[in-house]
């Protein structure tokens, strides 16, 4: 180990960060530690997913003889149960649940609201493509003691924290509280997330890579078609598209570039969800020096109208997002709300 490096666990890092805020109560530190625990439990099952067939599970049973749950259902339960009893959370919301999730009456409610996609891209599990958990944290704003839907429908600009867990060649947890973006890599031999990427920033100059599913070209607006054609011709951009949001955004965070999930004719809002995909990723990318736009306005400024509303995403290096907005505007068919 080089002399200047230190082994810093996420718990140690959180406590050190807390010390910089005299008003901190330690509750937020506990909340992020609980999310990190959930990530370890989910990662353990995700990494075993490929073994189910090899181990010849009978019917729908897993290695423990339990009913084999779909991994995203399992991840959803792990996230909720990691937080519901802590007294830190007023309510939650999940991609997997139609309505917001109150805290059981038997538990004390707290000040935070956690909104999450427990396992984004789970359709990629069968082909062993990296998938992820995405979380967004707000403060409760409603008057009552326990959280309500109102507490969940806050704009991304009011997030107190955002992060994701990437279950890939290694399991990484990346988060921001508005003071930079920090990445931790799980050392499975000791079960600890270790600080591996302090103060992550999109690189300058950025890698000229665009990331979009070009199969939808015919459904795009003229502005979107012109943008991608420009990038791959005069722009001389390369192309990378994994089809797993956390993996595509993580690569963009590390290398720079432009990730796009555009709207299309008849579906101007695209596919990705504002509350637990676009907004948390937008906070992370902007905290790392990039930009996050709907193609017309900053994602963090979008006022939510419903829990599962969709929004187009153009996130990555500032100049590339600026270019996208300009070309979409020229097409005058950019996203409008």
Please, what is the Cα angle at 80 between 182 and 100, to 5 degrees?
Answer: 100
Comparison of 182 and 310: residue with beta carbon closer to ligand P6P: 310
Q: Give the 3-state secondary structure of residue 300.
A: helix
The footprint of ligand P6P (CB under 6 A) covers 120-121, 123, 213, 243-245, 248, 271
Comparison of 84 and 277: residue with beta carbon closer to ligand P6P: 277
Comparison of 10 and 253: residue with beta carbon closer to ligand P6P: 253
CB of 244 to ligand P6P, least distance (A): 5
CB of 252 to ligand P6P, least distance (A): 12
Contact in structure between 273 and 313 (CB atoms under 8 Å): no
CB of 167 to ligand P6P, least distance (A): 12
CB of 137 to ligand P6P, least distance (A): 20
Contact in structure between 130 and 242 (CB atoms under 8 Å): yes
Comparison of 103 and 131: residue with beta carbon closer to ligand P6P: 131
Rounded to whole angstroms, the Cα distance separating 326 from 330 reads 6
Strands 209-211 and 171-176: unpaired
Q: How long is the chain?
A: 337
The closest of 130, 140, 196 to 165, measured between CA atoms, is 130
Comparison of 143 and 218: residue with beta carbon closer to ligand P6P: 218
- What is the distance in angstroms between the CA of the first residue and the CA of the last residue of the chain? 52
CB of 272 to ligand P6P, least distance (A): 6
Rounded to whole angstroms, the Cα distance separating 231 from 48 reads 39
Buried b (16+ CB within 10 A) or exposed e, 109-130: bbbbbbbbbbbbbbebbeeeeb
Comparison of 119 and 328: residue with beta carbon closer to ligand P6P: 119
CB of 183 to ligand P6P, least distance (A): 19
């Amino acid at each position: 180990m080089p002399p200047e490096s230190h082994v810093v666990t996420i718990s140690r890092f959180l406590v050190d960060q807390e010390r910089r805020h005299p008003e901190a109560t330690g509750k937020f530190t506990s909340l992020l530690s609980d999310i990190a625990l959930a990530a370890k439990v989910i990662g353990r099952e995700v990494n075993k997913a490929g073994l189910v067939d090899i181990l010849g599970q009978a019917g729908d049973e897993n290695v423990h003889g339990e009913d084999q749950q779909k991994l995203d259902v399992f991840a959803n339960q792990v996230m909720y149960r990691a937080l519901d009893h802590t007294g830190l959370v007023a309510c939650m919301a999940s991609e997997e649940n139609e309505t917001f999730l109150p805290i059981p009456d038997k538990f004390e409610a707290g000040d935070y609201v956690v909104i999450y996609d427990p396992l984004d891209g789970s359709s990629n599990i069968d082909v062993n493509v990296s998938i992820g958990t995405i979380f967004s944290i707000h403060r409760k704003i409603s008057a009552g003691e326990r959280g309500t839907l109102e507490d969940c429908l806050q704009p991304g600009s009011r997030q107190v924290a955002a992060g994701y867990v990437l279950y890939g060649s290694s399991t990484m947890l990346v988060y921001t509280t508005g003071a930079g973006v920090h990445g931790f890599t799980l050392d499975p031999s000791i079960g600890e997330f270790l600080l591996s990427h302090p103060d992550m920033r999109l690189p300058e100059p950025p890698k000229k890579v665009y990331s979009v599913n070009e199969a939808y070209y015919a459904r795009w607006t003229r502005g979107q078609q012109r943008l991608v054609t420009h990038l791959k011709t005069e722009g001389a951009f390369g192309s990378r598209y994994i089809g797993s949001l956390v993996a595509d955004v993580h690569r963009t965070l590390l290398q720079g570039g432009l990730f796009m999930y555009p709207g299309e004719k008849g579906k101007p809002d695209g596919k990705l969800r504002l509350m637990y995909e676009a907004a948390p990723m937008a906070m992370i990318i902007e905290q790392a020096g990039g930009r996050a736009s709907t193609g017309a306005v900053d994602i963090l400024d979008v006022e939510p109208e419903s829990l599962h509303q969709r929004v187009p995403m153009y996130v990555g290096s500032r100049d590339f997002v600026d270019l996208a907005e300009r070309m979409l505007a020229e097409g005058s068919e950019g996203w409008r709300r």
